Structure 1
């Protein structure tokens, strides 16, 4: 994605099912869990580079000894910083106490992070400052082990204020208005209630206070706690947690917006945000890693039992399509094929744009993450060329000469590495004119491969704001002197804000929205349209979320997709550009064909998977209309 946006987060939960001595004997180290957590988090660094955190729990530790450890970092390389600190601490303990080296029991008793249960998190901050206080996992402490709660997640809630108010109504005093805190406290509230209820039963059964604690751990019904805690949650979430005595859980939202995968064998249970991460770290095949179904929670009890149950009634599955287009690692077998298909399906529009002149076209991609869709696009181009060659040969019939045949077969699709990003270049000057000149040189170009009669076709994952296109990419491509620059987005036009974990909260940041406004002005209906949308949106501010309608759709309603694309091309073409510039977007229909399991398309259609989404998009429009820069949720 040439436009940088922040997105998502990544979770990794690991439960070791065997005693630590087993891992020492089989793998050579009782630090097996720490090593695997480093890999699980590092392999998901694409999901978050603002912060990282790790928490661990030691099972069956005697009172008076530390059994929970947590470390968080918001340094420039937070995963590296977290594990550097952990490794330094482990090495220091071993150097000071060489007798620990072959004594697993001593390591577990005395060295932090040598435990059986782990929860890791990598963060992109879509809300709140990037202070250490905003980095997961969050910890709710208590002197009873089973009331200690550690929470981390990949999520955004659209109704944080409502959730916050419900805690205040319970008599609580949350320390901040943030969805992570409110979610953790909600789970903690029902955990406390469940513990109290079980303790009353045990007291009647004759248990002493001391003997009641381990029995409470056994009887805790985590699924029921999660069902009660999540009743008012509106958002996309993969919520993970640990209890101090050793129970662990991960819960997924009812629409399956945020991804969750798990794997279990006789040694480990592991849950992560991405399938190939588990495949790689544990060397297991694709089919061994399962997807956690929407609305379900996987609970790993202290006794190693694994229970998967529905805790929220699933709705129509709307898994995030941006996961497939861009965010998730392309090493996933399904995602790789889907991204190729995105390139193939958009190619007919490319053919039309270049007037079927494949001989006079050069195909490339920007940035590197668009390479897979580029492969799909060029495969489709090759199929088209092969069909043309076959027709030429058949039309010539038996009279074709060897020279003519060779001339037909010699024609190839021309692909080139046109642009290379200069990672070292920094646009450090803030004065606009000077900065724009620097931005224009962020990429280096390959000279001598484009002719003046050529169409230059460049595919990108998606076009969100168009800033980099206008300030850098199109200017750079124009230096190669093609007659026509065609910029292709493997995603449809991004028209509506996200409120489930991607940093796309403001309408006026989208080039598609800006283009629609310009088209309204061209038709002379700008003021009446935005006034009407504003009044309708404003009138819904106090309605229940279930009754709110997305009226922002009316901004786009008068125009065909191609009209908006053409206006975007006009707006993003820098002055004095010599080449004609066209911009092509994937259609929503073809997106669904390419990614049939991830139908979450609200960024493109405005069809939000939860009621809170319509409130958010209308609030975003109200903010735009009123000139308010605040977030819509």
Structure 2
């Protein structure tokens, strides 16, 4: 993906049983899990662990920066000191990119709330976005005299958790989270730990985001993505299903259906771009989905392809499987005409000064593309800004004769309110051309779009081709940004607000412009 789109976090959890040879090593396991989830968030990272042998039963270390920066990889003595302070057998971890809230340490997760009673002292983190954030916030402020410090959905979730735990006697944690799941509208994979050592991992009933678990010897590992478990050597990886909860209570692990999953809508972008290419989401390979997207894209090709004039150049890194498969299907060479600077990070996730970062992200291989007709394969076009810059770069610096854009994802015509930072219509490229997602795009419209991007032609993936590639039926995928079919009530309300904002020329995130119906 060449546009700066943000997905907001990765979640991890660990439980080491009593008597294990890995006693006290929860932070070590969590650190490695978070390293493998770094692509899901590069703004901040954090870990909370439980240890009944220390005065602070819950200990949290969190800060801004990459996982290696937060946990002092470059300073072994400092890192050892941090790990010693976090020593414990149960813990949770988080990497973050913000879809709302300030980019400061106060918004880093896990978020800990202390209390004298152990079941009321807890820490939690989550992956997703609460679409009815403002509806939840309103009664807290107006009726319960709450002061909201950070004005984001994580803080609101903390308050609702606290209210569920305010009883005089210790509640059933499954009932607590069942009640919360019924109140929240949106995407929310939650990891929770309290000062009794109880661990809870919940996947929302819609199932927007992935969550999996498995064992490394006798250690329970939980992660947003399967690649983090596979890199431990875990082979029997299981997937927490929509509405399921994993609970560790007094050392016993149980997995149960917490709330019914009446409708499932897995985010298609996890396969298209966000998830690590080595991951599986509910058993479906990300790599294979991307290669099939390339094969489907090749079926749509209309140019008179030949090996003398044409060369395929995938945009690194996430478009490479699709680009290679597209090239193979057409009998064309796939070349690294764009080399990514590995030290520039994933531009989409870093947040600020988009144009400056793009300039440093790629190097053009002039000897590969000079005088060629370049078939530029990308996984998606969101805003179009960096796509336009790359086309210009290939032509002006690489001396490409022509550049034809091929996109493995259908046009993005609507905002996302479930954890991807593209919440307004006006920021998106495709809606400017009045595309009807239920109909094929006319060639005249595609020609106008290509011209706007400085390209010689443009072809998009189709929605049926996307579903075939992922190998899930369309009705079990969230494609709201492609077809405006939002899987929750609040998503539809926010889309109505986004349409009004676009008509009135309002900018900024939809849920920031409509505080009565917004989310963070």
TM bucket (normalised to shorter chain) is: 0.7 to 0.9
Structure 1 counterpart of 2:464, from 575, 583, 589? 589
Shift of 1:484: 3.4
Is 1:146 aligned to 2:119, yes or no? yes
Is 1:477 aligned to 2:424, yes or no? no
**340-349 or 618-627, which deviates more:** 618-627
Shift of 1:226: 0.6
| Structure ranking higher in strand proportion | 2
Q: Which residue of 2 aligns with 1:293?
A: 241
Distance in 1 separating the partners of 2:344 and 2:128: 33
What is the alpha-carbon root mean square deviation over aligned residues?
2.8
Is 1:507 aligned to 2:425, yes or no? yes
Structure 2 counterpart of 1:605, from 479, 483, 499? 483
Distance in 1 separating the partners of 2:230 and 2:357: 42
Is 1:367 aligned to 2:289, yes or no? no
**Long gaps (5+) in structure 2:** 346-353, 512-520
Shift of 1:191: 2.0
**Does the aligned pair in 2 maintain the 1:336–1:372 contact within 8 Å?**
yes
Is 1:129 aligned to 2:102, yes or no? yes
**Does the aligned pair in 1 maintain the 2:395–2:401 contact within 8 Å?**
no
Q: Which residue of 2 aligns with 1:232?
A: 183
Distance in 2 separating the partners of 1:85 and 1:167: 43
**Does the aligned pair in 2 maintain the 1:255–1:316 contact within 8 Å?**
yes
Q: Which residue of 1 aligns with 2:351?
A: none
**Does the aligned pair in 2 maintain the 1:90–1:112 contact within 8 Å?**
no
Distance in 2 separating the partners of 1:441 and 1:269: 40
Q: Which residue of 1 aligns with 2:10?
A: 10
**Does the aligned pair in 1 maintain the 2:391–2:453 contact within 8 Å?**
no
Q: Which residue of 2 aligns with 1:311?
A: 258
SS in 1 for 2:403: strand
**Does the aligned pair in 1 maintain the 2:46–2:94 contact within 8 Å?**
yes
Give the direction of change, closer, same or farther, for the CA distance of 1:437–1:318 in structure 2 (3 Å limit): closer
**Does the aligned pair in 2 maintain the 1:261–1:272 contact within 8 Å?**
yes
Shift of 1:71: 1.1
Is 1:336 aligned to 2:287, yes or no? yes
The aligned length equals 495
Give the direction of change, closer, same or farther, for the CA distance of 1:485–1:270 in structure 2 (3 Å limit): same
Q: TM-score, normalised by structure 2?
A: 0.88
Structure 2 counterpart of 1:81, from 63, 70, 83? 70
Q: Which residue of 1 aligns with 2:148?
A: 175
Q: Which residue of 1 aligns with 2:202?
A: 251
Shift of 1:558: 8.5
**Does the aligned pair in 2 maintain the 1:623–1:630 contact within 8 Å?**
no
Shift of 1:166: 3.4
Structure 2 counterpart of 1:415, from 334, 338, 342? 334
Give the direction of change, closer, same or farther, for the CA distance of 1:373–1:10 in structure 2 (3 Å limit): same
Give the direction of change, closer, same or farther, for the CA distance of 1:32–1:172 in structure 2 (3 Å limit): same
Give the direction of change, closer, same or farther, for the CA distance of 1:170–1:339 in structure 2 (3 Å limit): same
Q: How far does the alpha carbon of each residue in 1:89-112 deviate from its partner, in whole angstroms, 9 at most, with x for none? A: 67459xxxxxxxxxxxxx9xxx52
Shift of 1:512: 0.3
Structure 2 counterpart of 1:37, from 27, 30, 33? 30
Q: How does 1:39-438 map to 2 (within 5 A)?
A: 39-59=32-52, 61=53, 65-75=55-65, 77-84=66-73, 88=77, 91=80, 111-168=84-141, 171=144, 173-176=146-149, 177-193=151-167, 196=168, 199=169, 216=170, 220-264=171-215, 267-281=218-232, 283-285=233-235, 288-301=236-249, 303-332=250-279, 334-350=285-301, 352=302, 354-382=303-331, 413-421=332-340
Q: How far does the alpha carbon of each residue in 1:493-524 deviate from its partner, in whole angstroms, 9 at most, with x for none? A: 111111111111121111101232xx8xxxxx
Shift of 1:415: 2.9
Q: Which residue of 1 aligns with 2:451?
A: 570
SS in 1 for 2:426: helix
Shift of 1:50: 0.6
Q: Which residue of 1 aligns with 2:517?
A: none
Distance in 1 separating the partners of 2:374 and 2:63: 44
**Does the aligned pair in 2 maintain the 1:174–1:181 contact within 8 Å?**
no
**Does the aligned pair in 2 maintain the 1:443–1:473 contact within 8 Å?**
no
Q: Which residue of 1 aligns with 2:407?
A: 489
Shift of 1:84: 4.9
Distance in 2 separating the partners of 1:117 and 1:436: 42
Shift of 1:238: 0.4
| Structure ranking higher in helix proportion | 1
Q: TM-score, normalised by structure 1?
A: 0.73
**Does the aligned pair in 2 maintain the 1:86–1:113 contact within 8 Å?**
no
Distance in 2 separating the partners of 1:558 and 1:131: 44
Distance in 1 separating the partners of 2:24 and 2:370: 59
**Long gaps (5+) in structure 1:** 24-29, 94-106, 200-215, 383-412, 427-434, 520-552, 574-579
Structure 1 counterpart of 2:363, from 444, 454, 458? 444
**Does the aligned pair in 2 maintain the 1:457–1:486 contact within 8 Å?**
yes
Give the direction of change, closer, same or farther, for the CA distance of 1:439–1:70 in structure 2 (3 Å limit): closer
**Does the aligned pair in 1 maintain the 2:203–2:241 contact within 8 Å?**
yes
Q: Which residue of 1 aligns with 2:515?
A: none
Give the direction of change, closer, same or farther, for the CA distance of 1:184–1:87 in structure 2 (3 Å limit): farther
Shift of 1:475: 4.0
**Does the aligned pair in 1 maintain the 2:127–2:189 contact within 8 Å?**
yes
SS in 2 for 1:508: coil
Higher relative contact order (CA 8 A, sep 6+): 2
